[in-house]
Amino acid sequence: MSIKDKSGWARPAVLLNPLAGDPTDADSHIGGPMLWPIDEPWPWCDGTRHDPQSPGVPGADIAGIGMPFVGAVQLYRRDFPELPFPAGTDVLQVFLCTLHHDLDDCYGPDVRLVWRDSASVVELIEEEPEPPVQEEIYTPTVNALEPIRFTDYAHSFDRPEELRDADWPETSSGTKIGGWTCWWQTGPMDFECRECGTAQRQMLSLATHEPSGDHVEWEFGREGNLNIFTCPKDVHHPIRLWID
Ligand SMILES: [Zn+2]
Ligand SMILES: [Zn+2]
CATH number at residue 90: 2.30.320.10
pLDDT tens, 81-111?
999 999 999 999 999 999 999 887 889 999 9
Given pLDDT bands bounded at 50, 70 and 90, which one contains residue 7? confident
Number of structural domains the chain divides into: 1
Ligand nearest to the CA of 50: 1
Task: Provide the strand spans (E) within the chain.
Answer: 10-15, 18-20, 29-30, 44-45, 67-68, 70-76, 91-103, 106-116, 143-145, 148-153, 176-178, 201-207, 225-230, 240-243
User: Distance, CA 224 to ligand 2 centroid (Å)?
Assistant: 26
In this prediction, residues 116-143 reach a mean pLDDT of 96
* Full-model pTM: 0.95
47 CA → ligand 1 middle, Å: 5
Position 1 pLDDT exceeds 60: no
199 in any annotated domain: yes
**Domain-embedded: residue 48:** yes
In a domain, 22, yes or no: yes
Q: How far is the CA of 238 from the centre of ligand 2 (A)?
A: 7
- Is residue 1 included in any domain, yes or no? no
* pLDDT higher than threshold 90 for residue 116: yes
- Tell me whether residue 24 is in a domain: yes
Give the residue numbers spanning the domain of 84: 6-243
Exposed / middle / buried, residue 164 (Cβ in 10 Å: 0-12, 13-18, 19+)? exposed
Residue 81 CA to ligand 2 center (angstroms) comes to 21
Burial class (CB in 10 A: 0-12, 13-18, 19+), 184: middle
Q: What's the one-letter identity of residue 104?
A: D
Least Cα distance to 200 among 170, 237, 163, 166 occurs for 237
> Ligand 1 centre from 112 Cα, in Å?
10
**pLDDT surpasses 60 at 3:** no
Residue 109 lies in a domain: yes
Q: Is residue 163 situated within a structural domain?
A: yes
* Ligand in nearest proximity to the CA of 102: 1
Say how many Å lie between the CA of residue 135 and the centre of ligand 1: 11
Asked if 211 and 180 count as a contact pair (C-beta separation under 8 A), the reply is: no
Tell me how far apart the alpha carbons of residues 88 and 115 are, in angstroms, rounded to a whole number.
9
Distance 227 CA to ligand 1 centre (A): 17
Residues with CB under 5 A from ligand 1 (ion): 45, 97, 99, 110
> DSSP letters of 183-194?
-SSS-----B-T
Q: Do the beta carbons of residue 35 and residue 154 sit within 8 Å?
A: no
The ligand placed nearest to the CA atom of residue 134 is 1
Residue 206 lies in a domain: yes
How many angstroms is it from 86 CA to the middle of ligand 2? 14
Separation of CA 97 and ligand 2 centre (Å): 24
